[in-house]
Amino acid sequence: MNRFFDEAPDLVRIVGTVFGGRYRIVRPLGEGGMSTVFLADDLKLPGKRWAVKRTREQGISELSAAREAAVLMKLSHPYLPHVVDFFPPDEEGFSHLVMEYIEGSTLQQLFDSHGGTLPPKAVIRYAMQLCELLQYMHELDSGPVIFRDIKPSNIMIDARDHVRLIDFGIARRQTPGRAADTVALGTIGFAAPELLEHGSSDYRSDLYSLGATLYYLLSEGRTYHAIRKPLELAGGERERLLGELVGKLLDNDPMQRPPSASAVRSMLEQCLESERGRAADSAANSQAPLYSGRRLRIVVGGLYAGAGATFTAVALAVLLGDAGIANAVVEHPGVRPDLFGMLDGDRNAPARYDYWSARHDAGEASWTSRHTEWVALDPRQPPPAVSPGNMEQRLYRIQAAVTIIDIGDRWLEPDVAELLDEADILVAVADPVPSRWMLPSARGCADLLQRLHEAGRHVAFIANKSASFQGSKEWLGSFPLKPAAVIPSIPFEEIVRSLWKGEPVQQQPGVKPQLHKALGPWLGKTAAQARQSRNGASGKGWLGKIFSLRS
């Protein structure tokens, strides 16, 4: 017998109930406070299932299911549940919120099933995902949304090992000039002191709760609220940095906490980088190469100028970086310099950066961010004279698992022929501007790629800047091969906003999830196939395994 039926026999009568003529209750999934969550079948879409949250209204607006629905319906992020319907209180005082059914378990359940301990690396990865979500919520143009109840039982881990923040019952929009939240809400042990003591909160209250959650997961289930002792982790530099970060997040003074979720994510990245540094040192000391064999190479180009080759190259680098894979983006010396400007090199490039020759000449600084090395051209100087042989030598010196080479629209040029021969994956990009498709050079590039595909090479066409218009199906059907991925058009205001922030638009919370959805499945599958065909490895290979789990 289901334990929910044992503890609350009146729930039995709910099973089989149909709401809105569409959602039929199957069984309870969980309960807490004044709510119970049920699994429901969709009578209009056979086979589709939803989660229905049934809440008894108590007259407190802060706990209103209608308020939760109003908050969630205005948010859109892959780490949030999607709300599809809401039914106001019935004659018994119960409201019903219909949302996406997430297969998985809560972080609390995962923690308990592992005996009250999780590997620090897994905890860091989940925390980085939460930081992405919090950055999105805290930086909304319409005003920050403060969750106020981050804790392991409110964090789902779905079937793809991604976090999903649930239970927005006490979330609120931050109103300028409003000092208090009407009532003090939150979970003892995880809620920020200013929320419990004064009923006030802002985005830094969520950062405190994130720190309290990390403390709990890394201290075998203890809470900082009860112990009041700094987090001490056995290990090396990674554990030291992680303990220091948790201490900063748990500062009683909100002003002393990290300034943003983005800053916290950067600190978590430093924790991971310190671990990779140890691995590299160990490999160097043993005189063993960090990566065995020739590394994976991806050549990216447009069928014509302006198609979005550089944008796509950076997008691939972002996806690889999110999977923890070291990569490099190299701008071919013959292309128009776009990478430096896209990355706001005037602000972000190292002081001693020497552009295309950066990491290969003694005394020069390399330009790296997260897991990516940027090898860009100087937009203010003539391009360097680099022969194909010299280009090949430089590429071999790059110590990254994946090298992405942006060749612009130079598919037919003699100086890229050797690059095409050596590449593991060829990516051709095109957008829906019909006049560009009519260019003879574009047709020549398409014919070349078609021949390479027929010869057994890994060739992929990417449809970039996709938008809804009358000829969209005709456009997608005009590619020599069915597009392997379709990247949606990025709003111009999003691009301008990121440029003024000095950050790639591909990294922005409103853009990156779209890139993961569009490119992630193809990249993992194709990279695994390329590596397998090249070295005869069995199975999916290291890239395929990573993307099959995380994309």
Highest averaged pLDDT of the listed ranges 77-86, 254-263, 280-289, 381-390 = 254-263
Which has more pLDDT, 294 or 161?
161
**Topology (CATH level 3) of domain 104-282:** Transferase(Phosphotransferase); domain 1 (1.10.510)
149 catalytic per annotation: yes
**Side-chain half-sphere of 227: how many Cα atoms within 13 Å?**
15
pTM of the predicted model over 0.75: no
> Where would I find the H helices in 366-439?
388-396, 417-422, 434-437
Q: What is the pLDDT of residues 352-362, one digit of tens each?
A: 676 654 344 44
Phi, psi of 49 (to 5 degrees): -125, 150
Q: What is the pLDDT of residues 271-326, one digit of tens each?
A: 887 765 555 444 444 333 333 344 789 999 999 999 999 999 999 999 988 888 88
pLDDT higher than 60, residue 72 = yes
Class of the CATH-defined domain 296-550: alpha beta
d(CA 133, CA 139): 10
> How many Å separate Cα 353 from the centre of its chain?
29
Find the catalytic residue in 149, 206, 322, 431: 149
d(CA 159, CA 430): 33
Phi-psi region of 234 (alpha: psi -120 to 50; beta: other; left: phi over 0): beta
48 is in an annotated binding site: no
> Which CATH number fits the domain 3-100, given the four candidates 1.10.579.10, 3.30.200.20, 3.20.20.370, 3.40.1180.10?
3.30.200.20
Tally of residues, the chain: 551
Best CA proximity match to 411, nearest among 530, 527, 304, 297 = 304
Best CA proximity match to 157, nearest among 211, 114, 186, 191 = 114
User: Exposed, middle or buried by CB within 10 Å (0-12, 13-18, 19+), for 539?
Assistant: exposed
Please give the average per-residue pLDDT across 332-356, as a whole number: 81
Best CA proximity match to 319, nearest among 21, 63, 525, 540 = 525
d(CA 165, CA 127): 12
Q: Which two tokens stand for residue 542?
A: 């290291």
Please report, as a single letter, which amino acid is at residue 546.
I
Best CA proximity match to 128, nearest among 279, 415, 322 = 322
* Domains in the chain: boundaries: 3-100, 104-282, 296-550
pLDDT band (50, 70, 90) for residue 33: low
Q: What is the pLDDT of residues 214-232, one digit of tens each?
A: 999 999 999 998 888 999 8
Residue 227: CB atoms within 10 Å: 11
Q: What is the pLDDT of residues 418-434, one digit of tens each?
A: 889 888 899 999 999 88
What value, to the nearest 5°, has the Cα angle with vertex 205 and ends 79 and 370? 55
